[in-house]
Amino acid sequence: MLEEATSGHQLHSPQETRSNVSLNLPLPPEAMQRVAHYIEDIDTFFTFLEAFVETDVLGPFQHVWDLSLTVSRSKLWPNISMSQESAYPSSVTMITPCYPAVNVIGQVDWVVLEQYIQPATPLAWSYRHAPLNTLTPWMSQLRFHRIVSLHIDAAIDIGIVDVLPLIPQLRTLWMTVYDNRLTGALMSFVQYSAITSLSLHSDVVQDQDASERSHLTSAHIGCLTKWLLHNPVCVLEMDSFQVRTTATAMKPFYEAVFDRAMPLRLYSQEGLPLPGLSTYGFAHPIGVRSLNLESCGLNAAATRTLSEGLVDSHVTILNISYNDIGAVGVRAIARMLARTRIRKLDMSSVGMDDTTCINLAAALPKSRVQLLNLIGNDVSQVGACGLAARVQSCPLLKVLYVQVNEVGVVGASTLIEGLGRREQAPGTLLCIFTSRRSKAEALYLTSLATEFPSIEECCVHTSIVHSMRWSALT
């Protein structure tokens, strides 16, 4: 992002830049400050500030630099947070304009908070656990501030929903829902709201009756559909709800999610079934950029339908893990893969066998896949060897997850050699998961990987963990 925004501008040393900043700036100061907003990495951000310190380029970011000399940089970027335990320097008021919002964590004393923020300062409030008798009066003050984001991960009563209509600037809402009463009230609010990012997560409380647990009805789906149709929504996430709806109710919802004129950046339906997807007809290629359908009951028929919508779609991240799509489903994904923009593909535990692993492998060289997860499938060294033969022709592949318990040491070794023999390939991360192999075998695999410069790292784990490189592509 920084490279694009600076249009090829190369940062010089701070001393050199300050000496001729008036001659070499590619953009006016206001535009350079906008560049700073897009730098998420802490070290890169402060290197950027240092290059222009004590010039008119930084504007309010000069105060961020000054404060970084006495305050930990991690507390200043990429966001600033205020909590009950925090002590704030008086200069905080000068840097709040540098952030899209100031994070407020927990029940910060409003009197103290108002000493450091202006009434117009956007606030993002997050909350986990606190006594309800103290939370209710505290929350009554939310409506007097410019709250743009709420993140509530706690079992709280319906009173929170009563406050939401009084916060007109609210655009991001993340909530854990524990019962039907709260779900219904929340959906009634959402359908008429201006929220653009909604994340709803169902959970249970101790001794809760199954009939009281959160579920989505056709009426709730209708509320979400109306909301999607009337707002520039960019994120919708739902997980772990019980679903009591029909294919008829889901059809307009699917249209609002997949065929909308303004595509979603992220749609995640994790742990929820997809009624009617197998018979849904995609009118257009899917517009969603990141699509997560983990553990949602995808079968072969639904996967076939989904694959039709993925052709020429905007989807760059696809997660269909923990769905028993079987051989038919895997082949459907393999057939369309070369005609998609998918860069990150998670197909762990989807019922893949040796034959379908080889089918998928044959599609990889012509695809754009950079990160691939195949753990938890019924793939032996036969499938692994077939995959190894194809990855030699996959110059874009950066991260590969496999599981030794299935592919065996011979299969894992062949994969290492296949990845290692690629020419002009990026440094690759190979993650191998094993729970039944000896330390000697693990040492052998990591040692073998060091013989190939194109394998940047080979990790052998006893439990499934995701690397930072896997999570980085979002």
Q: What domains does the chain contain, in order, with CATH numbers? A: 1-78 (no CATH), 279-474 (3.80.10.10)
Contact 103, 72 (CB under 8 A): no
Alpha helix (H) ranges present in 169-273?
180-190, 218-230, 247-258
The CA distances from residue 146 to 109, 119, 127, 168, 198, in Å, are: 16, 7, 17, 8, 18
Six-digit token string for 394: 């996959």
Sign of dihedral through CA atoms 473, 41, 467, 103? negative
Alpha helix (H) ranges present in 240-299?
247-258
Q: Amino acid identity of 439?
A: K
Contact 140, 110 (CB under 8 A): no
First to last CA, the chain: 14
**DSSP assignment letter at 338:** G
pLDDT tens sequence across 383-412: 999 999 999 899 899 999 988 766 778 888
Alpha helix (H) ranges present in 105-178?
110-113, 132-139, 159-163
Q: How far apart are CA 233 and CA 446, in angstroms?
A: 45
| C-alpha closest to that of 198 among 222, 227, 163 | 227
| Distinct helix (H) and strand (E) counts, the chain | 19, 17
- Per-position pLDDT tens, the chain of length 474: 333 333 333 333 444 444 434 446 667 888 888 888 888 889 999 998 888 888 888 888 898 998 888 888 888 899 888 887 667 777 788 888 888 898 888 888 888 788 888 888 899 988 876 555 667 677 778 888 899 999 987 766 667 788 889 999 999 999 888 778 888 899 999 999 999 999 999 876 555 565 566 789 999 999 999 999 999 999 999 998 888 999 999 999 999 999 988 889 999 999 989 999 999 999 999 999 999 999 999 999 999 999 999 999 999 999 999 999 999 999 999 999 999 999 999 999 999 999 999 999 999 999 999 999 999 998 888 999 999 999 989 989 999 998 876 677 888 889 999 898 887 777 888 888 776 667 788 888 888 888 988 888 888 766 655 555 556 565
Bridge partner residues of 13 (DSSP): none
Alpha helix (H) ranges present in 69-179?
92-95, 110-113, 132-139, 159-163
- Side-chain-side CA neighbours of 15 within 13 Å: the count stands at 0
The CA distances from residue 34 to 5, 44, 61, 98, 99, in Å, are: 9, 15, 11, 10, 11
**DSSP assignment letter at 151:** E
Q: What are phi and psi of 68, to 5 degrees?
A: -65, -15
Six-digit token string for 108: 């910060």
257: number of Cβ within 10 Å = 22
Contact 347, 333 (CB under 8 A): yes
Q: Specify the DSSP element, H or E, that contains 469.
A: helix 468-472
pTM of the full predicted structure? 0.85
Contact 291, 254 (CB under 8 A): no
Q: What pLDDT is attached to residue 35?
A: 86
pLDDT tens sequence across 326-352: 999 999 999 999 999 999 999 999 999
Cβ neighbours for 87, distance < 8 A, ≥ 6 positions apart: none
Q: How far apart are CA 155 and CA 178, in angstroms?
A: 7
Q: What are phi and psi of 313, to 5 degrees?
A: -85, 175
